[in-house]
Structure 1
Amino acid sequence: MASVTRSSWPGKQLVAAAQSGDEPSIAALVSGVHPHVQRFAFALCASSQDAEDAAQEAMIVLFRKIGTLRAAGALASWMFQIVRHECLRRARAISIQQEPIAEAVTPSTEDDVLARLEIERVAAAIASLPADQRRVLIMRDVQGMPGRTVAKLLGLSTAAMKSRLHRARAALRADLKIHNGGAPE
C-alpha cells in the first residue's frame, strides 16, 4: 500500500488497490483525498456548512463507488465533479426554498420545464464564475445574507465585497446574455 502525502493526490497504485476492494487502501485513499476535496468544496460552495456537507457527500460517494471509477488517473476530476454537483444541488435547493409559494396559480408542465431549464442555466453560469466572485454572489444574492455579514464571513472589507459582487453580477449578466443569443455588453 502506497503512502499518501498531504500535498499530492494519492498514487495510481493506491487507487487501483482501493478499486479492487482492499479495505486499508480504501481508508488510505479516503483520508488522502479528503483535504483536496475539502479545499475544492470551500472554493466552490457558498457557505462553509455547504462546503463541509459537499465534501462529506463526496467522501461517501468515493467510499461506496470507488470500484466504478474507470481510470485511476481520473480520480481528481471525478472527485471535483462530485463536489461541483453537490454544491450546485445545494445552491438550487436554497433558491427553491426561498421562492414564495403561489397558492392559486399552478404552472403548466411547459412552464415548469422552462423554469427548470432556466434554473440550470443560471446555476451553470454561476458555477463558471471565479471562486471569489461566486461565493460573494451566492451568499448575497442567492442566500440573501446582508452585505456586512458576507464581508465579515469572507474576511473582506465591505467595499471589497461590493466590488466582487458587482463584478460577479456583471459577468453573470454577460454570460446569460451570450447564452440567450445576445451580444455581450
Structure 2
Amino acid sequence: MWAALAVAIVGPLAVAATSPLLEWRGPVYISAGFAGIIAMACLLLQPLLAGGALPGLALRQSRIVHRIVGAGLFLAIVWHVGALWITSPPDVVDALLFRSPTPFSAWGVIAMWAAFAAAALAALRKRIRLRPMTWRRLHASLAALCVGGSAVHAVLIDGTMGTVSKWMLCALSVAATIKLIVDLRIWSPRARRDA
C-alpha cells in the first residue's frame, strides 16, 4: 500500500516537473502549481490517516500524523493562493469574488474555504464544545467538500500535472474520502445513537 501511495503522490509531481509548460513560467508561478499538487497529495493522505488505513501506524499515531498533514495542507493552500496572488493579483481577486471567467477558479475557492473551515473546526474542537458526533459530521462534511471541490478544480485545469496522473490522484482522493465516511458510518442512525 505504501508503494501504491508513493506512486500516486510522486507520479503527478514527476509529470509536472518534466512538463514543457514550465518553460514559459517564472519560479513563483511554478511554486504555486507545485503547492497545489502537494495540497492534492495531502487530501489523499488525510482520510487514510483519519481512518487508520495506513499499515504500520496505530490509530493514535495515524491521527497525530493526520493533524500534522492537515497543517501541511493549510500551508500548501496558502502558498498556492499567495504565489498566484504575487504573479497576478487581479486574477486572484476575481476568483475570490466568484467573477472569474474560468470555471475551475470557483471550485478552487470553494475548496479553499472548506479546507480553512475544517482546519478552524479542528483547532477549536475543545473550545466550541460540540458533541463528538456533531463535530465529526461537520468536519467530515467540510473535508468532503474540500476534496470534491479540489478534484473538480484540478481536473478542469489544463496544466502541468498531466491528464492521467491528475485523474488518478483526484479519483483516489475522492474514493478514500468516501470510503472513510462510509466506514465510520458518520451519517448512519446508529452513529447518531452512539454520539
TM-score, structure 1 as length reference:
0.26
Higher helix share: 2
TM-score, structure 2 as length reference:
0.25
Query: Which protein has the larger Cα radius of gyration, Structure 1 or Structure 2?
Result: 1
Considering Cα pairs closer than 8 Å and 6+ residues apart, tell me whether 1 or 2 has the greater RCO: 2
